[in-house]
Amino acid sequence: MPDRILTHSSDDTAIVDGTIQHDDRDPDILSLRPERLHEYVGQAEVVETLKIAIEAAKLRSEPLEHVIFHGPPGLGKTTLAHIIANEMGGVLTVTSGPALEKGGDLIGILTHLGEGDVLFVDEIHRTPKTVEEFLYPAMEDFAVDFVFDKGIHARSHRYRLKRFTLVGATTRVGLLSAPLRDRFGIFRSLDFYGIDDLVRITTRSAALLDVAIDEPGALELAKRSRGTPRIVNRLDDRGLTRLDHRYLKTIIDFYGGGPVGIEAISATLQEETDTLVDVVEPFLLKIGMVIRTSAGRRVPDATYCHLGVSVQQKLF
């Protein structure tokens, strides 16, 4: 296990953004994070891929290929980065795309990485373009290029880096540039967890916290977790948050159940479109509480019933 974890992050944001919260830093919460692949529950295909890749890298005495995970928030991307560092015996350095404001920020981190260390960049799609370009030679050749002076006096110097593994995480894989995306050797998607896996996670967490829980209780918590290990309670019986309710009620109350464009919903709710598309809609689409059509978003009859609203309010 690494003897230290370095962090370089931006300001905290609300829980709806899926980013780390103050409670997430509590020692009890951090202790729930699995440290090895055999402890990890769910995402079977991803775990199997990592097992094979890590074993092969160890046999070659080389760092693991660069890895990128994409999917909704809270599904284990950060946890997997910790596990990779532990399995490979390297030190984990944590940062995020928005925190890397200029090239010097990234170069300072890269030059301090040791042989076999792991650099985890959360929300890597938000890395500024000028900073991203420093990643290309770092990932491909384990080097960074410095340019001194300007004009006819300009000189270039290549600084060799220790061989490391870059683990990137993103909720917007479509926003990754092609040059960056193509430099990752392992590219895996994380999906929402099934109920059985969530029950196992809930039971494991309760045992680690020395909290008594029976199987029916674990099942009820799992049902309310939106397919996400990070979320256990504070939700209704389908796992909907206050923002989910506002989103659905907006479509019903203001637009007769739809179809309606996402921009109109965003304007009515006074919420960012990206928040609705990345945080709210994925789970609602998965459980069928909202339907996305070419004409816009609409809610089915089952959603009206769940919210206790008369279907007669529909416009279409």
Q: Which of 79, 93, 122, 298 is catalytic?
A: 122
The question of whether 230 is a catalytic residue gets the answer yes
Q: Which of 188, 230, 297, 298 is catalytic?
A: 230
Same domain for 27 and 176? Answer: yes
pTM of the model: 0.68
- pLDDT of 67 reads 96
Q: Is pLDDT larger for residue 1 or for residue 253?
A: 253
Question: At CB < 8 A and 24+ separation, what contacts does 196-203 make?
Answer: 197/41, 197/42, 198/42, 198/222, 198/225, 198/227, 198/229, 200/41, 201/41, 201/42, 201/229, 202/232
pLDDT band of 5, cuts 50, 70, 90:
low
Same domain for 227 and 246? Answer: no
| pLDDT of 14 above 50 | no
The number of folded domains in the chain is 3
The CATH code of the domain that includes 295 is 1.10.10.10
Structural domain including 212 reads 193-235
Closest Cα partner for 120 from 164, 159, 160?
Answer: 164
Digit-coded pLDDT (tens) for 103-159: 888 988 999 999 999 999 999 999 999 899 889 999 999 998 877 777 777 777 788
The CATH code of the domain that includes 13 is 3.40.50.300
**Distance, CA of 26 to CA of 21 (rounded, Å):** 9
Same domain for 165 and 43? Answer: yes
Q: Which of 95, 127, 170, 171 is catalytic?
A: 171
